[in-house]
Amino acid sequence: MSLEENKTIIHRFFEAVNKRNQAVIDDLVAPDYIDHTLQRRGRKDLKKFLTFLFKTFPDWHEITEDIIAEGDKVWIRVKYTATHKGEWRGSLPLIPKRNYVLPPTGKKITFTGIHIYRIVDSKIVERERVYDLLDFYNQLGVIEYKRFPDEKIS
């Protein structure tokens, strides 16, 4: 596969997610797919998570900010936008074994992340992600922190 073909696979995957077209996932994702971040295996588990995500955030949308391909890997910087309209179940960051259920807040959120995909034989076989969860949970009102808008990072 060429680097451009690998990028196209990822663009198609994001388009399928944004259009809620889970049927395309069978064409793009390997049966033994692994999501290292969410600790999920296989297409069925991925679809189950997406169903939960779309129920919680019906307008969930992923926007490609940057994309880079090298070898069998594709890196992508993503901006997520969504409105919290369903129950969110998760674990509270930085507090081990602290699970919670967050009822719908109606809050519109925007946050960023980096994904790394590995592609073999035109299929996504692995994914790792890093998100700005501090900002995600802050916008939902689970935690509170204040940014200093005049503070410059050197």
Coil, strand or helix: which one is 133? helix
Render pLDDT for 42-65 as a digit per residue (tens, 0 to 9). Answer: 999 999 989 999 999 999 999 999
Query: In the numeric block, which tokens belong to residue 37?
Result: 């971040």
Domains of the chain: 3-140 (3.10.450.50)
- Global pTM? 0.85
Neighbours of 9 (CB within 10 A): 21
Q: Answer whether residue 121 shows pLDDT above 60.
A: yes
pLDDT higher than threshold 90 for residue 70:
yes
Is residue 153 scored above 60 in pLDDT? no
- Sign of the Cα torsion 25, 50, 45, 94 reads positive
pLDDT 10s digits, 5-14: 999 999 999 9
Q: Are 78 and 113 in contact (CB under 8 A)?
A: yes
Q: What is the pLDDT of residues 95-111, one digit of tens each?
A: 555 566 788 999 999 99
Using the predicted structure, report yes or no on whether residue 79 has a pLDDT greater than 60: yes
